[in-house]
Structure 1
Amino acid sequence: MAEHGRRSPDRLVRLLPAVAVGVVGLAILLYVARATGVVDRGGNLLAGLLSMTNWTLGTVVAVDTARAAGRTGTASGPGVRRSWLLLAWSMGLTAAGAAVGGATGRSDGAADGQVSSVPMAAFVLYIVGLLMFVAAMAVLPVPWHQLRNRRTVVLDLAVVGCATVVMMWYLATQLLHATGRSGALELTLILGCVTGCGLVAVGKLMITGAEPLDQVSMRLLGGSLVMSAMAAGGLAALTPWTGLTPETVVLPVSAVGWMLAARRQRVALADPDAAAARTRRRPFSVVPYAAVVLFNLLALVAEMRDLPRHEMLLVGSVVLTTLIIVRQITAFHDNARLVGRLDESLRDVRAQEHRFRALVRNSTDVVSITDSTGRITYISPGIEKMLQITPEQVLEGCRMVVHPDDREALAEQLAPSYAGPGATAHGEARFRRADGTWRRLEVHSTNFFNDPVIKGMVSNARDVTEARRYRDDLAYQATHDDLTGLLNRTLFASVADEALATDEPAGTVMVLVDLDDFKLINDRLGHAVGDALLRDVATRLRDGLRPQDTVARLGGDEFAVLLRDVVPDERMEIARRLMGELEQPVTAKGYDLLVRASVGVAPGTPGITAAELLRRADLAMYAAKNQGRGRCVEFDQSMDQAAQEHAQLAADLSVAIDRNELALVYQPIVTLPHGELSGVEALVRWQHPVRGFVSPVEFIPVAERTGLITALGAWVLYEACQQGAAWLRELGPAAPGRISVNVSARQLIEPDFPTVVEAALLASGLPAEKLTVEITETAVFDGGPALVAVNAMKDLGVRVALDDFGTGHSSLGLLRTVPIDVLKVDKSFVDGVGQSPEQEAIITSLSQIGSAMRLVVVAEGVETGAQADRLYELGYRYAQGYHFARPLKAPEIAGFALKPSPV
């Protein structure tokens, strides 16, 4: 019921156009009937009925206009709302005036052939209503900033105003001349006011264009008033025959125009875009030209019929023609200026178009437009370079072929671009070139289907084949070993973690393979041979595994193998089989090599990580090396305990110096055959506060592995120099002639090691020639920084001894390239003295080589008198070993030095 109640007024309002048309038709029929005599001229009842109908119609239109004012208040601003309210009052007062004038038009007893006078009440209502209309037009704001040419607008207003005023003045004078002056004067004033209101509306329309009121609404308002004024002027001549005032017939015409204007304004506010689309816009105003045409037609008729006072029409024609000429000259000037701007704009557009075409033609990217059916309507010339097909071929129907494996993925990636206007999507796929090869393109699509010019999907394609290949290469290099192509440590750890998370832990086994003596091959045969060997080992490991297994190179000569789905009884068998594959002879760069490897095996356990599994395999591998190399050992918990002990030992060793737990003992070096003290060799000993005595065999490897050997060696060097200097002060000539200090390979490669030696000599005051630095063959075999350090120590005056000669990289070339002073023969050769001629031949040759090269030769590990006597007979003059003395403390060396020499 409520909904029905709301819709009822709207239905009544929708009937207003039909009612208005009926009223207009009824008025016209009445005029015709009265003029022909069909109806008596005294039909005042009918005239009154017509007047009341006009009043009702005007009142309803006023209400409808007021409703338009209410709806435009918030949408268009307070000025527009006030204008519509004033229009509503104007229509209401005008309708009331028409009703009063029509009802009393014949009551004053006017004679036939005369125009009856307008009642004063009606006249006042007309004037006030028309003034409100003028006020309604005046309150509309003028958007001067939107006017393109103010001078043309002013001239147009002048033309229209001049033509209308002259026409109405001429008609009024003709009317006064023909009918008399009593009622015609009032009628002329009313017609003039109506005409003036029409001019105001037309002028406002010309100035404002389509704002702030709707353009069609303004046209309806102004046009209805002008038509009403013209119709009123024509019908005034018929008043003596009809007995009705013209406004009685004209008012419905104005009411219909105002009502349609109000309707149009409401529609424009409800849907501004649709209203603007339906509005016909002209590039120029036809009102001035229409006014001139009508004026000239009136002047021509007046001249042809020789009507009185037609000269004023001729004068008006001249004035209007002058105004039109001025307007046209102004328009021509404005057009010339606009043409100049247009030419400049066209030049800019051509320049931009030229730049755009050059960019598109020479761009490596391809721009295309696809319509709603999937047909390509435009494609840039870059397609020829990219896919070796011309744009013409593509536009003629040659389709760009997407790789079958990429079609569905590309369609899914680009699907979001069809979601709506402005939607974008990104995709990547392989496209076939004309030569059959494939190029990977990156496609970016944007939805422009709503654009009236483009009407399609704009896609930008870029060839990313090389970039993708480069990216894939980088990704491969980041996860694979460059030399062998195997997985590197990073990717292998990821694969191992995934396997441990998804597989049965007990079935996952880590196998760590480390090549034995690989450094010897690199040192002796060169890195090229070593690299070839590593590649061969990688191939053998890869070929010897099952499809589900994974092999990686962790670094250097260390490889890792991840076995999956392995039965516990088979894991050692698989590891030994891999060892057997590696033990086959290898041909690398023309060299036939035999490879041995130490292998550690670690089975997975619940909850273990890849890092922990690898650590266990590493412990097992080191256990295999400690057992003699070339072995395969499986991890057990005792290895973990040993590793923890080594870690604890390293931690204790790092503070042993500060806690004064370390001490030096000295092994005497004697002359043969009598055993006089010639020098000493400093040896370090560690008395642990909990463990007790810790053998150097235990803590020296720990020190070398952890890097503590550098600090430990520096301490030994400093303490030995201090003691040597003290012996020189205390014993004088009886003091040991030389004090020897062992230096590790790790110390030799330290850049500041010669500086450390020099500082120890300066701090202690020991002469440099009293110090002997013992090095191993392995330490200087490669030359490099170690050899540089040896030469630096020689420059200081320090003597250099080659320790354990014959057990390492035994090469006579070392005796020539390394500047040594002392050659120490290893105990393993001394043990063979007196056992066989072959063993004695070796030790004899070592003595002869040393003597020939003017080196001091010292035999190590002499444990019996027979060995000492035979060494003397073989040419040895210096020796050390338990036969002469065990390592002694510093005070005991003084007693050994001062004891009487045997005869």
Structure 2
Amino acid sequence: MKTSRLLAVYAPLFTVAAAWALLRLAGYEGALVLGWLPGAIGIAVGGGYLLAASRTPGLDPAGRRFWRHLAIAALLIAPSTGPFTEASLGGRKSGPLLFAAVGLLAVALLLVLWALLRLPTRVRGRRDWLRLGLDAATVLVCSATFLWHFVLRGVAGAPLPQVLGLSVLSVLCLLAVLAVVKLILAGTNAVDARALRALALVVVIGAVGSALVPVLPSPRLAGVSDLVTMFEALMVAVAGVLQARRAGAGQTVPVERRRPYSVLPYLAVAAVNLLLVAVTVDELGTLPVLFGAVTATGAVVARQLLAFRDNDGLLRSLREHQRLLHEQATHDALTGLPNRALFNERLEHATAAILVDLDDFKAVNDTLGHPVGDGLLVEVGRRLRAAVRPTDLVARLGGDEFAVLVPEGSQDGLDGLPARILAELDRPVHTHGHVLTVTASVGVAARTDGDGAQDLLRHADIAMYAAKRRGKGTHARYTPDLSGLLMTPESRLGDLRRAIAVARPPFTLEVGRAALVSPGFTAELSALLAEAGLEPGGLTLALPAAQLAVDGVLRRVMRELRAAGVGLALDQTGTNTVRLDLLSALPFTAVIVEPLAGDDDRSRAFAEAAARFARDAGIDYRVRSEGSLLESAL
């Protein structure tokens, strides 16, 4: 809703109300409808704005109900302004029309009270509720004091219906004030904070208007009350506009208060002190004591507010300090990128990982100095952020190692990221008077079913190592056939030599897929067996089923091993299943299983079927028992 439209509606109404107030001031007594009609129309229009706010998309259901109830209340209050205006100007003092107006006003106030009380407040602790209760009680007592002095004090000796009517309306007003104050102090997530403040201003303006009634007894000043009504109507409409704007922007949660405390109770105390001064200013004997008490109260209130402000400043400083500590703990001081700690935290929920390792970075530091190297790292971090998507996380893991994490649900477009990264880094870097050419090796890995966070990182590391082997400025994506690249020939030969040295034929060695598919594994194994004087037929390699899949690389290596005479066993220990698809597709000579877990017919039938399949295929069926591999009697 545009502010210009609001002004276009209320400006003519204010003009009519102001003109009528000037006419009354000049002595004009006719056409009473010109006095109350603008206020009635303004309140009704304000109810329309409230109703429109309740229909705004994205609004909380509790807030939608609240604004709908207030819209109905405004439409009930609008027609009651006429009888009240005429009564205040010496017209009807009683009668069905005035009683009907009082009834409408009472129903409207009850509806407002019900709407306010049904709004959910933010959850707070017991001590918070005690503090808020005391603040609300302070405002309530001050409001009751004003109502007594300006409304109820003058009805002594009036007819009983009038006394009861004013008493009921005063109680309802106090309850409405209490409900508004509670929401202002405690807060709510269902209604926009600024809209709620606008409604509170309606209550304040109404209180001011009630206070002005006995102060302005002359009929010529009656137009002031009608202008007050117009201001109330305008603030009602403003509340609806503020709520509609906030919900329409997709922000249904109100903005937190900038202060953790409220000055409302202190303003209420100040108002009562001013009232006290006004009613006792003629008693000269008590005037010094009165001014002393009021001044002392003001000094205490000012001191308390200063303490609140100081405490608020300390809390803000503490929160900022905590934020800086968290920033330092989770971000790299040089580049400002997330560090390894934050990277590891986000890795748990990543769907893909990209590792970026700069080529020949050490030479930059050694020949041009660390300031140039630092400038290069800062520029690389900036370019990586420019290359990836806003949802991706760019981190510096240390030295010249960078990483990119792709969050869950953002794997679309992953294939193009490595090329964009290399393209960004390919441009010359100007730093500290030097022009540097940057190349990097980029490894990419996507999470698959069963992969943990460390599996994802290890696969990205393997892919990056593969990219380095292809040449500078290249990228590679992880596939299972790359698994052996991180195992160096020296470590692989050492492990095999130690295992074979203590073995006695026939013997079984457990070998993972990474070692099996590493380049030259078959030739290395054959050479070590010959060195130890052992025949290949006396060795069986046990391959964990969890690491295997039917692919060309694995099938080729297994055929080479079988051609050399080495036996191959599918190791199914640790599971209650047998991968018959692997047994039929790959050249296994044996299968190793756990002992029968149960003696029920279903388990026994499964074991017999698996053993029969292995026997028919010429595959030994072995059961692991107490750490030994024993041939099954089945």
- TM-score, normalising length from structure 1? 0.36
Structure with higher Rg: it is 1
- TM-score, normalising length from structure 2? 0.49
